[in-house]
Structure 1
Amino acid sequence: MSSIAQQKKIVEQLRSEASMVCKPVSECVKDMIGFMNSNKDRDFLVSGFASKKDNPFQEKGGCLLL
């Protein structure tokens, strides 16, 4: 890619970043905490599985030593 093409690409990227709407971190964190609290019942990493049969990641067999 030529230097001019690279510079045009950089300018285009900077223009798109400059047009983005920014929010303060404190506002985003409040939104994230609210989302996580409202969905924690469905998150198996937080609440776990009701039984071992429900866990699709449970190993099917035991450990074998040779």
Structure 2
Amino acid sequence: MSNVQQQKKMVEQLRLECSMERKAVSQCVKDMIHFMEENNNKDFLVIGFANKKDNPYQEKSGCSVL
């Protein structure tokens, strides 16, 4: 890719980023906290699994050392 093509691609990317709607970090954090508080009852890392068989992270077999 030539230098001119790289520069055009960079300008295109910068224009795209410039046109994006921006929000204050403080507002985004409030939205994230609200989302987490609404959905914490569905989060298996918080409430755990009702049955060990439902846990996809459970080890299937033991570890063997040679």
3-state SS of 1:9 partner: helix
Root-mean-square deviation (Å): 1.6
Q: What is the Cα deviation at residue 49 of structure 1?
A: 1.3
Structure 1 gaps, min length 5: none
For 2:14, give the aligned amino acid: L
Task: Report which stretch shifted further, 18-27 or 40-49.
Answer: 40-49
Question: TM-score, normalising length from structure 1?
Answer: 0.83
Structure 2 gaps, min length 5: none
Distance across 1 between alignment mates of 2:62 and 2:5 = 58
Q: What is the Cα deviation at residue 44 of structure 1?
A: 0.5
Task: Report which stretch shifted further, 7-16 or 53-62.
Answer: 53-62
Identity of aligned residues (%): 67
Question: TM-score, normalising length from structure 2?
Answer: 0.83
Q: What is the Cα deviation at residue 60 of structure 1?
A: 3.4
